[in-house]
Amino acid sequence: RSPPHRWWLEKLGFNTGQPAIITVERGRLVIETEPRF
């Protein structure tokens, strides 16, 4: 069973085409993106 946030994370990745680093800090979901130039 996939996490609830899996879908929109994949959707975000597909839309932007950018790699994203997902981390959890103090119960917060932090998304760090690395733009490709």
Contact 30, 22 (CB under 8 A): yes
**pTM, 2 dp:** 0.33
Return the SS3 of 11: helix
State how many domains the chain has.
Answer: 1
| H/E run at residue 8 | helix 6-16
Q: Give the mean pLDDT of 3-14.
A: 61
Contact 9, 22 (CB under 8 A): yes
| Residue that has been written with the tokens 């997902």 in this structure | 22
| pLDDT tens profile 18-35 | 666 777 888 888 877 766
Indicate if the pLDDT at residue 3 is higher than 60. no
Structural domain harbouring 32: 1-37
Looking at residue 29, its pLDDT comes to 80
Rounded to a whole number of angstroms, the distance between the first and last alpha carbons of the chain is: 35
